[in-house]
Amino acid sequence: MDLEKRALKVLEGNKKEGYSPNLQRSYFYIAPDPIHHHQWFWDSCFHIIVMSQFRPEWAWRELASLLSVQQADGFIPHLIFWKWRILDFLPFFWWWKRERHPRIKFITAEIQPPVIGLALEAIHQADHKTADLFPILLKVEQYFNYLKKKRDPDRDGLISIITPMESGMDFAPQFDIPLDVIDHSPRRLKQKINRMLEVYHRLEWKLEEIFPLAIFDFEDVGFNTIHALSLEALGRIWKGVDAKKARGYEEEYQRVRDTIIEKMWDEEDGIFYGCYHREGKEIPVRIKTISSLLPITLDLPKRYVTRLIDHITDEEEFWLPYPIPSVAKNEKAFGPLTNTRRIWRGTTWINTNWFIAKGLLRHGEIELYQRLKRKTLDLIERFGFCEFYDPFDGHPGRAERNFSWSTLAVIL
Ligand code: GLC
């Protein structure tokens, strides 16, 4: 069976559709995999990007389900529980109880990387339904206004996340430091996160109480890069609708991009680092992860691109037999721990490869792009569409199989 057909089979297999007794409306979405059966924000955006090429109708419907739970202040949750399963009530799955929104039981109180601008552009390009687009653009605008108003407490143009899960890269080692896990033990990180969630739960997830505590106020490179990319994409979509708005988005994109360079670039290491807030100070976390490389997707001046490529192609860092690992090999915190669920500590993921591939294309690095694409497709050929892979031998270990966003490989 060709790759495209296999990808569609995975998406079809994870398709959920019906009426939600929880939220009392119809839903349609693709679950991440057969085990994680709820709707996740950035997973949905990736599915929409793939499906807009093969099943635009599904892409529109998944987007509609996602936007249907948007709150009055523009917030869209990282997770929607359309329907409970018995499994959700087993102790192992109880984490959702602490992350649950204080007023609406069927969504979480967190956000995830704002890939939604890119998702909207993908559907728009594949299937021009301009009449339907306007209300959606307004909803998405509200969402970005929410990020700007509520998630940038120091008003520097960079969005702060309040839990590692909001980065989409749950146990990535750049989060060890703000949580004082100096020995990089992923077990201790998990414990610290759990304790933090308990505090947030008690505070009913009120941002005005959470931010002043500065338990975890992190400006992540990946999250902010994706924010910039979405603003840029929205600017392109608005062009056909309202030129003034389009210019506004374009200018905002440039502002965010420039702030990422100004605040996150580390000249000595030649890479981008996120930072956390503690006692009124901003402290960079100098750990090289996949997040540090994501700004290659932006229109950066050449000298930054060259230095990022030096890291990508360095066999001691990111160019492993199956690139690109989520953490550089020569970092103390490098896992990759494929046989645990301590994710994002060195395994290779298809969604981040998709971003880096886009960046390489943007900067005309065709040869490296081709090499990365071949390696990525090789992983899929050998092991199928998995959640993550070992960067040395490709084995997925305890990764979920038939993982929906890994179908991005088909549109690399
Ligand atoms: C894990 C990943 C996150 C993803 C979720 C569902 O929590 O870290 O990025 O959205 O699983 O696939």
Task: For residues 349-362, give the mean pLDDT.
Answer: 98
Predicted confidence at residue 278, as pLDDT, reads 95
- Domain for residue 244, yes or no? no
pLDDT tier for residue 107 given thresholds of 50, 70 and 90: very high
pLDDT tier for residue 85 given thresholds of 50, 70 and 90: confident
State what percent of residues in the chain have pLDDT above 90: 92
Spell out the residues 6+ positions from residue 4 whose beta carbon is closer than 8 angstroms to its own.
54, 410
Task: For residues 15-23, give the mean pLDDT.
Answer: 96
**Bigger pLDDT: 196 or 127?**
196
- Residue with CA nearest ligand 1 atom 3: 168
- Domain for residue 353, yes or no? yes
Predicted confidence at residue 72, as pLDDT, reads 97
- Domain for residue 241, yes or no? no
Q: For 252-266, how does the pLDDT look when each residue is reduced to its tens digit (9 = 90+)?
A: 999 999 999 999 999
> Could you tell me the distance, in angstroms and rounded to a whole number, from the CA of residue 106 to the centre of ligand 1?
18
Task: For residues 349-373, give the mean pLDDT.
Answer: 98
Q: Does residue 346 share a domain with residue 294?
A: no
Task: For residues 230-234, give the mean pLDDT.
Answer: 98
Q: Does residue 300 share a domain with residue 322?
A: no
- Domain for residue 237, yes or no? no
Residues lining ligand 1, Cβ inside 6 A: 32, 36, 40, 42-43, 168-170, 343
How many separate domains does the chain show? 3
Task: For residues 191-198, give the mean pLDDT.
Answer: 96
Q: For 302-346, how does the pLDDT look when each residue is reduced to its tens digit (9 = 90+)?
A: 999 999 999 999 999 999 999 999 999 999 999 998 888 899 999
If one residue of 11, 29, 41, 43 were mutated to test the ligand 1 pocket, choosing by the most ligand atoms within 8 A of its CB, it would be: 43
pLDDT tier for residue 143 given thresholds of 50, 70 and 90: very high
> Could you tell me the distance, in angstroms and rounded to a whole number, from the CA of residue 189 to the centre of ligand 1?
17
- Residue with CA nearest ligand 1 atom 9: 168
Q: Does residue 144 share a domain with residue 54?
A: yes
Closest atom, ligand 1, to C-alpha of 33: 12
Whether the predicted pLDDT of 187 surpasses 80: yes
Task: For residues 86-93, give the mean pLDDT.
Answer: 79
Closest atom, ligand 1, to C-alpha of 42: 10
Predicted confidence at residue 409, as pLDDT, reads 98
Q: Does residue 318 share a domain with residue 279?
A: no
Predicted confidence at residue 133, as pLDDT, reads 87
Q: Does residue 362 share a domain with residue 278?
A: no
- Domain for residue 5, yes or no? yes
Q: Does residue 145 share a domain with residue 3?
A: yes
Range of the domain at 381: 314-412
Q: Does residue 189 share a domain with residue 104?
A: no
Predicted confidence at residue 115, as pLDDT, reads 98
Predicted confidence at residue 127, as pLDDT, reads 83
Predicted confidence at residue 91, as pLDDT, reads 75
Predicted confidence at residue 98, as pLDDT, reads 87
Predicted confidence at residue 356, as pLDDT, reads 99
Task: For residues 225-242, give the mean pLDDT.
Answer: 96
- Domain for residue 239, yes or no? no
Q: Does residue 295 share a domain with residue 220?
A: yes
Closest atom, ligand 1, to C-alpha of 400: 12
Predicted confidence at residue 96, as pLDDT, reads 77
Whether the predicted pLDDT of 63 surpasses 80: yes
Q: Does residue 187 share a domain with residue 146?
A: no
Predicted confidence at residue 286, as pLDDT, reads 98
pLDDT tier for residue 156 given thresholds of 50, 70 and 90: very high
State what percent of residues in the chain have pLDDT above 70: 99
Whether the predicted pLDDT of 1 surpasses 80: no
Boundary residue ending a domain (150, 182, 203): 150
Query: What's the mean pLDDT when you consider all of the chain?
Result: 96
> Could you tell me the distance, in angstroms and rounded to a whole number, from the CA of residue 301 to the centre of ligand 1?
32
Quick check: pTM over 0.95? yes
Boundary residue ending a domain (263, 284, 312): 312
Q: Does residue 101 share a domain with residue 200?
A: no
Q: For 261-294, how does the pLDDT look when each residue is reduced to its tens digit (9 = 90+)?
A: 999 999 999 999 999 999 999 999 999 999 999 9
Q: Does residue 325 share a domain with residue 303?
A: no
- Domain for residue 157, yes or no? no
- Domain for residue 363, yes or no? yes
Q: Which of 53-62, 94-103, 136-145, 281-290 has the lowest mean pLDDT?
A: 94-103
Boundary residue ending a domain (117, 150, 183): 150
Whether the predicted pLDDT of 130 surpasses 80: no
Predicted confidence at residue 88, as pLDDT, reads 84
Q: Does residue 329 share a domain with residue 306?
A: no
